[in-house]
Each structure stands twice: as C-alpha cells, then as structure tokens.
Amino acid sequence: DQLKAERDKLETDYAAANNNFKTLQSSYSALEKNSDESLQSNLSKNRELLAKLEAKEKALAAEQVRLNKLKADFEERSKRVAELEAMMSAKENAMKKLKETLSKALNGFEGKGLTVHQKDGKVYVSMENKLLFNSGSYAVSPEGKKAVVEVGKVLAENPAISVLIEGHTDNDKFTGTVGGVENNWDLSTKRATAIVTIFSENKSIIKQNLTAA
C-alpha cells in the first residue's frame, strides 16, 4: 500500500513536471520568435531577449532532468508494486491449492471432528479430541492416526511448508500423576509431540519443518 501511494504521488509529480516542461517549451518558442522579429529593429532588446532565452533554456534543461528522474522513479515503483502483487497472488494461490489438497485427502473424516480452513496466508487443520485422544491421554486413537497419516502424505508432497503442531486439552484438572502426565500443560505438550512422532514416520517429511507447541 505504501509503495502504491508512493507510485501514485510520483505519477502526480510527473504529470505536473510534464505540464511545466510544456509551458517552458511554449515560452521558449515564443521568445525565440520574438527574438527573430526584433533582431532587425532593436538590437538591445534582442540581446535582452537572448539572455532570457538562455535562462529559459537552462531552466528547460533542468526541468527535463527532473522530469526524467521522476519518470524513472515512477517506473521503478510501479515495477516493485507489480512484483509484490504477483508474489502475494502466487502465495495465495499456493495456500488455496494446499487447502484443496488437504480437504480432498481428509474428505473421509468430515463430521468426525476434523475441519480444514484457510486464513491470513496459512492453512489450518483442526482435529478435535474425540478424533485423536481419550480424555487425559496423549495416545492417538487408530482413527485419529489415519487422519494424521493422510495429512503427512500431503506434507511430504510439499516439502517447503513449515508446520506448527499445537496440542490442546480440556479444562479438567489432574489429581496427581495420571499415566506419566503431570498436568494439562504437560498433556498438551505430549499430545503435540505424539503427532510429530507420527509425521516423522513418513521419511519424505523434512523433520526440521515440524514444530510442536
């Protein structure tokens, strides 16, 4: 947006400079004509006109330089705006394609606690506890593992994508240690790493792209 604003301002400055340039050119032509007509009748006036002509010529040359610079700046800004718009469009299309691929791969899990949506240049795959875990557990259910494996297949085909796996829990408090879990913080971490472990079984997924949270 800032680049577009700068480009628009340059365009306005360029138009103003161009009009000024044309005005100077007209003035120069008029003075030149007057100079030729006065040459025979008034030598002193002619010298004055020639001096004005020289000054106008210098101003004209300076305005031409400024005009060329404005034009070059405007073209550079326009090119940069076009490049950024193309990059944003390409990213948006890539995210849309990824969402469609994931939705297709996970079609069989619709209505079972799984959703796929796109927002702010990212694709979110949300799986509810009922699909993945029993209450208080971080052991992935057989049905949940199938869904995670399908997501992993898509990630394997898109090695440039970075993935953040977020673990969540309910609000039920733990009373003591249950199955090696200290509290909900501990449980959410173990759930996230459990999904990372399943992804890691697919050798085509780049492990450095996976982050548990």
| pLDDT of res. 193 | 93
Do residues 148 and 195 touch, judged by C-beta distance below 8 A? yes
pTM of the complete model: 0.58
- Alpha carbon 65 to its chain's center: 35
Which residue pairs from 9-17 have beta carbons closer than 8 angstroms and sit at least 24 positions apart in sequence? 10/70, 10/73, 10/74, 10/77, 11/74, 13/70, 14/67, 14/70, 14/71, 14/74, 17/63, 17/66, 17/67, 17/70
- Encode pLDDT of 186-199 as tens digits: 889 999 999 999 99
Measured distance CA(27)–CA(53) in Å, rounded: 9
Higher confidence at residue 46 or residue 143?
143
- Encode pLDDT of 38-65 as tens digits: 666 677 777 788 888 898 889 888 889 9
